Amino acid sequence: MRVIVFINNPQSISYNEGSSNLAADKDARSKARVHPAFANAGRQAGVEIWRIEDFEPVAVAARDYGKFYKGDSYIVLKTTADKKNNLSWDIHYWIGSESTQDESGAAAILTVGLDDKFNGAAVQHRETLGYESQQFLNYFPSTIQYLNGGHATGFSHVVTNAGAQKRLFQVKGKKNVRVRQVDPLISSMNKGDVFILDLDQTIYVFVGDKAKNVERLKAISFANQVRDQDHSGRGKVEIIDQYSSEVDVQKFFTALGSGSKDIVPEDSAGGDDQAFERSEEQSVILSEVSDNSGKLQVTPLTKPYRQEQLKPQ
* pLDDT tier for residue 280 given thresholds of 50, 70 and 90: very low
Of the candidates 77, 92, 9, 79, which has an alpha carbon nearest to the alpha carbon of residue 44? 79
Of the candidates 121, 60, 66, 59, which has an alpha carbon nearest to the alpha carbon of residue 90? 121
Of the candidates 235, 247, 215, 300, which has an alpha carbon nearest to the alpha carbon of residue 14? 300
Buried b (16+ CB within 10 A) or exposed e, 250-264: ebbbeebeebebeeb
Mark whether 119 and 82 lie in a shared domain.
yes
> Can you give the length of the chain in residues?
313
pLDDT tens-digit readout, 247-274: 999 999 999 999 899 999 987 765 555 5
Q: Indicate the number of domains in the chain.
A: 2
> Is 98 exposed, middle or buried, given 0-12, 13-18 or 19+ CB atoms closer than 10 A?
middle
CATH of the domain at 18: 3.40.20.10
Mark whether 69 and 106 lie in a shared domain.
yes
H helices present in 236-290, as ranges: 246-256, 273-280
Mark whether 186 and 291 lie in a shared domain.
no
Residue 265: domain span: 167-277
- Decide: pTM greater than 0.85: no
pLDDT tens-digit readout, 30-49: 444 689 999 999 999 999 99
Are the C-beta atoms of residues 123 and 89 closer than 8 Å to each other?
yes
Element spanning 205, H or E: strand 202-207
Give the range among 34-38, 87-91, 299-303 with minimum mean pLDDT.
299-303
pLDDT tens-digit readout, 134-160: 999 999 987 899 999 888 554 445 555
